[in-house]
Chain A
Amino acid sequence: MEQPKVVHSTFTLERKFSKPPEVVFAAFSDPAKLRRWFADSKAHETEAFTVDFKVGGEEYLRYKMIGGPVAGLTVVNKGSYQVIVPNERIVTATTMSVEGRPISASQVTIELLPTSEGTDLICTHQGAFFENADGPQLREQGFRVLMDKLAAMLAN
């Protein structure tokens, strides 16, 4: 049997904010606010960002990397809103491509929980990571060993 080439991983990030869920939610639903924290970064140069915040609507982000292992390359993030429960929940299906080649496909779930201090935000990212389509399919055992290592690392 050919060896699997896709690495799956899930990670969770949590934040506590001192604002009520409606205010945090507005940072997702308002394109101007979303751009400031989601789209822009010192690590890249944003080239295009559009968002249609509704179920079935799309979010499109294109940027050029300034540093890191893919500096100078163009990255595209495309997301489709799957579920929106105002002030509570946003589920997005997204793909990330580098120079037009898909490198991952993910489901990102944002959950907003009201607390006495404000809001707890839980971000769960369930990703499928592909080998970069730079050449022939990757089959050799050595690379499979690497992928096993990566999967183990990502599981932590």
Chain B
Amino acid sequence: MFHALGDPTRRAMLDRLTHGPLSVSALAAPLGITITAVAQHLQVLEECALVRTEKLGRVRTCRIEMAGFDTLERWIADHRTEWARRLDQLGALLDELDEGSE
């Protein structure tokens, strides 16, 4: 995930896709890189579920895939989940004290 986002070209691609879906060639043109290079970047982004591509006829279209961004949001939100889990575990430990296992 962070590897995917760590590359400036990939971030530029994501930035453009946030404005709407694009064909691979439309995505590649302003970046001044080859279609092959774009395809490699897209593969990394697809593996992280940040981007989804779909071939319709002869045109491959790329769009932002929200599932990957959800992962990143979850990673940040995990602090909350982690604390919620800890407090649940604290509750269980306190309940145990009733059973004379102090």
A binding-site residues for B, Cβ under 8 Å: 7, 9, 11, 13, 15, 17-19, 23-24, 27, 33, 36-38, 40-41, 43, 68-70, 96, 104, 106, 108, 121, 123, 125, 127, 129, 132, 134-136, 138, 140-143, 145-146, 149-150, 153-154
Contacts and interface: CB of A to CB of B under 8 A. Distances in A.
A69 B11 contact: no
B93 interface: yes
Contacts of A23: 94, 97
A143 B14 contact: yes
Interface of B: 1-3, 5-8, 11-12, 14-18, 69, 71-80, 83-87, 89-94, 97
B60 to A, nearest CB: 20
A150 B86 CA distance: 23
6 contacts: A9-B76, A36-B93, A108-B83, A134-B3, A134-B6, A142-B15
A11 B69 CA distance: 21
Contact of A123 (B11, B14, B83, B93): B83
B83 A37 contact: no
A134 B86 CA distance: 29
Contacts of A11: 79-80, 83
